[in-house]
Structures are given as C-alpha cells and as structure tokens.
C-alpha cells in the first residue's frame, strides 16, 4: 500500500509575500503537485497534509533562532497555497485525507504519522512539497530509518535554495534508495 505526504505547501512557503517563501520556483510546481494529490485522493489512497506550525514566542524551538517567524499557528500563512487548498477543502471529510500538524522538519518527529501509516499497512510513501532540502529531506530520512520505500515526485518538490534542492534530490536516490519520478 502507498500513501502521499504533502509537505508544507502553504502561503508562507510559496506565495510571493510568504514569510519564508520559495517564491516563483515553488509556485511553478503547483499544477503538478495538485494533479498528483488529486490522483491519490481519487484512487482512495491515504493523503497526509503535513504542515509546519509554529509559535514565535516558543524560546526553546530552534527554528525560531534560524528563520523568520513562519507558518505561525492561527495565521493565514499556514493555509495551503493556491488550488491545493481547494482540493483539501473539497476532500477534508474523507477518511483517507488527514491534516497533520508538525512542529519539526520531519513529518514523523513527535507526530502519530508512523502509527497511521502502519495501521493502514502502508509500506511506500510518495513525497511532495517544500522545502526539498529541509522538511522533505528530513521526512524522507525518517521514513528510510523506519523502513518505508520512498518515492520523490521531482516535479512536485522545490526549495528556496537551488543548490540544496539539487543536492537533496541526489541524496534521496543515492543514499536513501528513493525512486525519483
């Protein structure tokens, strides 16, 4: 069984006015990312929207020292970007669609994601979203360490760091044994 994990494709990470935006390169993957997401939903497969959520007053969260405040809980910045939000809203009540709040780079860190995947007998995960070299990468590493097969949709991931993006794509394939499609 397979699942799709859509990572952090939100206004703060994609819109021109986003707080930590990938900008144009992130916007350019929208149509393919939406297409892949719809295919998984239409096929009745498990789709997880793993979305960063932060509290800028949390003095102990390391990201608050590394990056400007972004994806702050309760703000518009956490809304899924563009038509992906419409896809989510149209399907959010389906048992196969799950919103996962995360507070670390990896969608597995401190969440119930592994449990939800295992109870559905999922052995392979498809990853889409941003940032390729941060949250997508850390989710892939944890998935690898937990024994999942990994598929990266190359036309559905992007970063604000082009060099990091290219490095992460190589790392997925050469170090984590991921399939890149």
> What are the residue boundaries of the structural domains of the chain, listed by start?
2-180
168-179 pLDDT, tens digit per residue, is 999 999 999 999
Domain 2-180 maps to which CATH number in 3.40.640.10, 3.40.50.850, 3.40.50.300, 3.40.228.10?
Answer: 3.40.50.850
pLDDT tens profile 102-147: 999 999 999 999 999 999 999 999 999 999 999 999 999 999 999 9
CA distance 99 to 112: 11
Q: Looking at residues 152-160, what average pLDDT do you find? A: 98
pTM of the model: 0.96
Query: Token digits for 22?
Result: 């990938």
CA distance 6 to 94: 16
Mean pLDDT of the 21-37 span: 98
- Give the residue, 55 or 90, on which the prediction is more confident: 90
Q: Grade residue 71 by pLDDT with cuts at 50, 70 and 90.
A: confident
């Amino acid at each position: 069984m397979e699942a799709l994990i859509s990572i952090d494709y939100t206004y703060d990470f994609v819109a021109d006015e986003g707080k930590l935006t990938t900008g144009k390169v992130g916007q350019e993957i929208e149509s393919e990312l939406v297409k892949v997401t719809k295919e998984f939903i239409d096929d009745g497969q498990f789709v997880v929207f793993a979305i960063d959520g932060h509290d800028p007053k949390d003095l102990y969260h390391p990201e608050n020292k590394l990056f400007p405040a972004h994806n702050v809980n309760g703000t518009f910045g956490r809304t899924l970007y563009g038509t992906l939000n419409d896809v989510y809203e149209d399907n959010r009540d389906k048992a196969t669609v799950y919103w996962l709040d995360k507070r670390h780079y990896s969608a597995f860190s401190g969440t119930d994601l592994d449990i939800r995947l295992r109870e559905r007998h999922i052995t392979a995960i498809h990853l889409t979203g941003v940032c390729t070299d941060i949250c997508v990468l850390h989710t892939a590493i944890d998935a690898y360490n937990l024994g999942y097969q990994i598929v990266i949709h190359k036309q559905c991931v992007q970063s604000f760091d082009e060099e990091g993006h290219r490095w992460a794509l190589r790392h997925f394939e050469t170090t984590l044994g991921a399939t890149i499609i």
